[in-house]
Structure 1
Amino acid sequence: MPEQNEWEKQAANLLKSELKRKGVTYAQLIEKLADIGINEKEANVANKLSRGKFSAAFMLACLKAIETVTLHVE
């Protein structure tokens, strides 16, 4: 299996950090995604975040679902 590149690691860490900052679990994220019309399974989301392999669209949907207004990227 290929190793995560730095961009994938940064994307995954950014999204995981935002979830933690907001106190949102993966189970809660699934519910919030469903509220905006995106159906995912908790295992799929956990896999995406652990591998860092997800689209920019998925990341934006997650950030929208958890009501992130401002995101700091360094």
Structure 2
Amino acid sequence: MTDATTRDWVAHTKGLLRGEMVKRQISYAGLVEKLAAIGIKETEANLRNKISRGGFTGAFLVQCLVAMGVTTLRLED
């Protein structure tokens, strides 16, 4: 996998997460609260950095989606 391909997937993944946040009108602070409710402790600053960099695991993505109440995720338009 080339660096360009890796960056495309990273951008796509963080776009999916940000898109779900926007769709549900959930701020970073709101997501921190929702994650805490399911036992995941994050600071707002750490969450912003993770999402901004796109440097998070698949498990973290699923935790965020579950915390936000996402039951269906559309991967393509």
1:1-74 correspondence runs (5 A): 5-74=7-76
**CA offsets per residue over residues 2-59 of structure 1, 9 Å max, x none?**
9871111000000000000000000000000000000000011100111111000000
Gaps of 5+ in 1: none
TM-score by length of 2: 0.90
Identical-pair percentage: 44
Question: 1:48, 1:8 → 2: CA distance?
Answer: 11
Classify the secondary structure of the residue corresponding to 1:40: coil
TM-score (normalised: structure 1)? 0.93
Question: How many residues matched?
Answer: 73
Structure with the largest fraction of helix: 2
Moved beyond 4 Å, runs of 4+: none
The structure that has the greater radius of gyration is 2
